[in-house]
């Protein structure tokens, strides 16, 4: 913007007005402000004006712009090509192969913009389209299963007609005799838009049941069902809800964590895309049990293409009286809105998410107090994952036996998993706990592509353990996974073939954490720099016994002294890789 540009000033004023010049809305204001001009950035003049209007310092505005990957204070092209360099995509060599196609076609390298100012190329972390890798995201459109021809056609299509609207399609029916359909029961039965159809599919019956039972009985039923949080921490959902009920505050919030930034994870994407009403119903139940009156869906910026669909579902719920005052003729009120993230993995962590909601850089806070006591705006805040909310809304109407009749005694029920990598049918599947990894990979995901063998599997996301093919008989449940040094986590399974190099993969994992580190604590900030050097030495074949010891020491420091789960869990892939693939590390030593 130049201040003399009347239209830009007018639009910026409208944005500021829309957000009531509230500094807590700074991230939302900046995300919208940078789309005012075709240069996709926030100019110095805009920064001045926003700071002045929100009565905050320019430094505060700059701290947010520099923290979030989606924001920029440098002019960019009208179309931003985002090339994923995270775990699954690294198995497809996205960063080399797709990058080469783009360089050939546009002549630009990462960080550069074409002369005509149309395209800027960026390398980014996972944007939740791992099942259709090789892929790119161009502005809010995601393109998958790329070939050189397809990439060329997409770029020339944009150049010629400026159209780029291939959104992720509804996944083809991926049911199998070994899958189940509880949390995903509505997939393929309606399009996720029509609230009447959702109601016809017994929508909102679980919420009504909760009202009839009373909050305590409803929470106990959730405990009976054995549902643990599906965002990674695996905390029992029923207990968490009751703890939230006990938290006292003038206001109380329920936040649906739809940040889904864990590489290899895209199940929440499918839950929100196929059945957004069920997620809202889960929030209604959670808000009733916790006695919270306000709710926010924190949607990752990379899923902006889902925003209008979710907003439509919220609007329909208000129209039908499922949101607002006195819901379902009860005394329960619940107001719900969407908030967009800015492209940062660590914002999935509870306190970082609260900071982000307050329009600040998403840096975790020191505990205690805990989020449930003093989270968003220092009010009690209940944060729940998309799948946990969908699970609660799925079974409550019929009782906990829906879950306890399948699965294993330790892990009742089902889990929605995201499987990607070198399997024939990557995608999202709902499985009963208790299948083996072999059954999941071979029977459900169609086995390996092109006759390749399984080389390794990373379970639970980038922060999950990396295990060898000798553990394919491992049963998928919480207890068994713990025994082998990992966890169910976000439910991701990234399968590498015997042709993929484990050390290269490990470097990708480590680079992801280094890129996403918020820098607040030393072990994670500095440890990642050191780990990077060490892994380089292994890759080059110049490591020594001392390097192994250093590697262990840094991984231990990460695990035991990091401030938040990001640094702590980064230790898991690093430790398991050394445990299960030690011979490969040894081969690389002099």
Ligand X SMILES: Cc1cc2nc3c(=O)[nH]c(=O)nc-3n(C[C@H](O)[C@H](O)[C@H](O)COP(=O)(O)O)c2cc1C
**Residue ranges in contact with ligand FES by CB under 6 A:** 84, 86-89, 126-130, 133, 135, 263-264
Among ligand SF4, ligand X, ligand FES, none, residue 89 binds (CB under 5-8 Å by kind) = ligand FES
Near ligand X by CB under 6 A: residue from 350, 361, 412, 426: 350
User: Is residue 349 near ligand X by the rule CB under 6 A?
Assistant: yes
Among ligand FES, ligand SF4, ligand X, none, residue 525 binds (CB under 5-8 Å by kind) = ligand SF4
Q: Which of 459, 468, 462, 466 is nearest to 577 (CA)?
A: 466
Near ligand SF4 by CB under 6 A: residue from 342, 343, 364, 455: 364
CA pair distance 368, 382, nearest whole angstrom: 15
Among ligand X, ligand FES, ligand SF4, none, residue 517 binds (CB under 5-8 Å by kind) = ligand SF4
The nearer residue to ligand SF4, 350 or 407, going by C-beta atoms, is 350
Question: x-or-dash pattern for ligand X, window 260-299, by CB under 6 A?
Answer: xxx-------------------------------------
The nearer residue to ligand X, 387 or 439, going by C-beta atoms, is 387
The nearer residue to ligand FES, 127 or 580, going by C-beta atoms, is 127
User: Is residue 453 near ligand SF4 by the rule CB under 6 A?
Assistant: no
Near ligand SF4 by CB under 6 A: residue from 114, 125, 244, 566: 566
Among ligand X, ligand FES, ligand SF4, none, residue 567 binds (CB under 5-8 Å by kind) = ligand SF4
Distances (CA, A) of 350 to 232, 371, 383: 12, 7, 7
The nearer residue to ligand FES, 79 or 127, going by C-beta atoms, is 127
Q: Min. distance of Cβ 574 from ligand X in angstroms? A: 15
Q: Min. distance of Cβ 269 from ligand SF4 in angstroms? A: 23
User: Is residue 51 near ligand SF4 by the rule CB under 6 A?
Assistant: no
| Contact assessment for residue 87 and residue 263, using Cβ atoms and an 8 Å cutoff | yes
242 Cβ neighbours under 8 A, 6+ residues apart: 216, 219, 289
Q: Which two tokens stand for residue 234?
A: 């695996």
The nearer residue to ligand FES, 47 or 129, going by C-beta atoms, is 129
Near ligand SF4 by CB under 6 A: residue from 244, 517, 569, 576: 517
Instruction: Name the β-bridge partners of 431.
Output: 415
The label of the residue with tokens 């036996």 reads 401
Residues of span 432-451 touching ligand X by CB under 6 A: none
Residues of span 287-346 touching ligand SF4 by CB under 6 A: 346
CA pair distance 343, 568, nearest whole angstrom: 21
Residues of span 204-243 touching ligand SF4 by CB under 6 A: none
User: Is residue 567 near ligand SF4 by the rule CB under 6 A?
Assistant: yes
The nearer residue to ligand SF4, 539 or 556, going by C-beta atoms, is 556
CA pair distance 1, 564, nearest whole angstrom: 38
Near ligand X by CB under 6 A: residue from 8, 28, 94, 257: 257
Other C-beta atoms lying within 10 Å of the C-beta of residue 321: 12
Other C-beta atoms lying within 10 Å of the C-beta of residue 327: 22
Q: CA angle, 343 as apex, 339 and 346 as ends, to 5°?
A: 95
Q: Min. distance of Cβ 192 from ligand FES in angstroms? A: 22
Q: Which two tokens stand for residue 33?
A: 């402000």
**For the sheet containing 492-497, what is the strand order?**
427-432, 414-421, 492-497, 454-459, 466-468
The nearer residue to ligand FES, 127 or 190, going by C-beta atoms, is 127
CA pair distance 350, 63, nearest whole angstrom: 20
Please state the length of the chain. Answer: 590
Instruction: Name the β-bridge partners of 83.
Output: 123
DSSP string, 19-46: TTT-GGGHHHHHHHHTTSSTT-S--HHH
CA pair distance 506, 577, nearest whole angstrom: 8
417 Cβ neighbours under 8 A, 6+ residues apart: 267, 428, 429, 430, 431, 440, 491, 492, 493
User: Which run of H or E residues covers position 225?
Assistant: helix 215-225
The label of the residue with tokens 């009751």 reads 242
Q: Min. distance of Cβ 571 from ligand X in angstroms? A: 12
CA pair distance 300, 454, nearest whole angstrom: 32
CA pair distance 472, 408, nearest whole angstrom: 18
User: Is residue 564 near ligand SF4 by the rule CB under 6 A?
Assistant: yes
The nearer residue to ligand SF4, 518 or 534, going by C-beta atoms, is 518
Q: Min. distance of Cβ 348 from ligand X in angstroms? A: 2
Determine the interface stretch with ligand SF4 among 196-204, 211-219, 446-454, 518-526 (rule: CB under 6 A).
Answer: 518-526
Determine the interface stretch with ligand SF4 among 247-255, 421-429, 511-519, 546-554 (rule: CB under 6 A).
Answer: 511-519
Q: Min. distance of Cβ 89 from ligand X in angstroms? A: 18
Determine the interface stretch with ligand SF4 among 184-192, 311-319, 520-528, 577-585 (rule: CB under 6 A).
Answer: 520-528
| Contact assessment for residue 118 and residue 78, using Cβ atoms and an 8 Å cutoff | yes
Q: Min. distance of Cβ 561 from ligand X in angstroms? A: 15
CA pair distance 189, 200, nearest whole angstrom: 10
Q: Which of 306, 286, 287, 288 is nearest to 298 (CA)?
A: 306
User: Is residue 562 near ligand SF4 by the rule CB under 6 A?
Assistant: yes
User: Is residue 230 near ligand X by the rule CB under 6 A?
Assistant: yes
| Contact assessment for residue 426 and residue 419, using Cβ atoms and an 8 Å cutoff | yes
35 Cβ neighbours under 8 A, 6+ residues apart: none
| Contact assessment for residue 461 and residue 263, using Cβ atoms and an 8 Å cutoff | yes
The nearer residue to ligand X, 259 or 275, going by C-beta atoms, is 259
Near ligand X by CB under 6 A: residue from 231, 263, 421, 489: 231
Near ligand SF4 by CB under 6 A: residue from 51, 518, 557, 572: 518
What does the binding site for ligand SF4 look like in residue numbers (CB under 6 A)?
346, 364, 517-521, 524-525, 562-564, 566-567
What does the binding site for ligand X look like in residue numbers (CB under 6 A)?
229-233, 235, 240, 257, 259-262, 345-346, 348-350, 383-385, 388, 564-566
């Amino acid at each position: 913007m130049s201040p003399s540009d009347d239209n830009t000033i007018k639009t910026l004023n409208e944005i500021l007005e829309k957000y009531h010049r509230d500094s807590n809305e700074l991230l939302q204001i900046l995300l919208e402000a940078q789309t005012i001009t075709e240069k996709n950035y926030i100019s110095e003049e805009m920064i001045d004006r926003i700071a002045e209007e929100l009565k905050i310092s320019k430094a505060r505005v700059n701290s947010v712009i520099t923290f979030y990957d989606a924001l920029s204070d440098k002019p960019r092209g009208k179309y931003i090509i985002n090339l994923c360099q995270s775990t699954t995509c690294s198995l497809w060599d996205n960063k080399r192969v797709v990058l080469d196609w783009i360089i050939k076609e546009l002549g630009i390298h990462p960080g550069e913009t074409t002369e005509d100012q149309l395209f800027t190329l960026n390398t980014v972390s996972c944007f939740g389209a791992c099942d259709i890798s090789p892929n790119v995201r161009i502005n809010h459109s995601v393109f998958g299963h790329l070939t050189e021809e397809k990439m060329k056609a997409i770029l020339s299509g944009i150049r010629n007609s400026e159209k780029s609207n291939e959104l992720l399609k509804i996944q083809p029916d991926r049911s199998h005799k070994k899958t189940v359909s509880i949390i995903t029961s509505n997939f393929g039965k309606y399009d996720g838009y029509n609230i009447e159809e959702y109601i016809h599919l017994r929508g909102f019956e679980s919420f009504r049941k909760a009202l009839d039972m009373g909050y305590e009985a409803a929470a106990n039923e959730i405990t009976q069902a054995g549902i643990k949080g599906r965002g990674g921490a695996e905390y029992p959902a029923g207990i968490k809800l009751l703890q939230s009920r006990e938290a006292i505050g003038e206001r109380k919030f329920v936040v649906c964590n739809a940040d889904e930034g864990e590489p290899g994870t895209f199940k929440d994407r499918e839950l929100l895309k196929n059945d957004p009403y069920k997620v809202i119903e889960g929030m209604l139940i959670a808000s009733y049990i916790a006695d919270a009156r306000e709710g926010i869906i924190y949607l990752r910026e990379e899923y902006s293409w889902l925003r209008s669909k979710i907003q439509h579902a919220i609007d329909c719920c208000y129209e039908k009286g499922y949101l607002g005052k006195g819901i379902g003729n009860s005394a329960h009120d619940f107001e719900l809105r969407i908030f967009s993230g800015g492209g940062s993995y660590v914002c999935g962590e509870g306190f970082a998410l609260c900071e982000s909601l307050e329009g600040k850089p998403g840096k975790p806070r020191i505990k205690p107090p805990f989020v449930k006591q003093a989270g968003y705006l220092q009010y009690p805040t209940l944060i729940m994952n998309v799948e946990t909310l969908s699970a609660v809304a799925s079974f409550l109407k019929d009782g906990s036996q829906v879950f306890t009749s399948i699965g294993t005694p330790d892990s009742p029920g089902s889990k929605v998993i995201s499987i990607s990598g070198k399997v024939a049918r990557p995608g999202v599947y709902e499985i009963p706990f208790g299948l083996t990894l072999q059954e999941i990979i071979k029977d459900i995901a169609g086995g390996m592509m092109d006759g390749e063998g399984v080389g390794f599997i990373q379970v639970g996301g980038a922060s999950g353990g990396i295990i060898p093919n000798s553990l394919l008989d491992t049963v998928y449940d919480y207890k068994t996974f713990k025994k082998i040094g990992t966890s169910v986590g976000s439910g991701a399974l990234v399968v590498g073939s015997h042709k993929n190099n484990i050390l290269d993969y490990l470097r990708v994992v480590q680079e992801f954490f280094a890129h996403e580190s918020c820098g607040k604590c030393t072990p994670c900030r500095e440890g990642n720099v050191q780990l990077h050097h060490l892994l380089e030495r292994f890759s080059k074949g110049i490591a020594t016994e001392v390097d192994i010891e250093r590697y262990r020491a840094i991984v231990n420091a990460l695990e035991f002294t990091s401030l938040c789960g990001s640094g702590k869990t980064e230790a898991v892939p690093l430790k398991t890789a050394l445990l299960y693939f030690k011979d490969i590390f040894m081969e690389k030593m002099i």
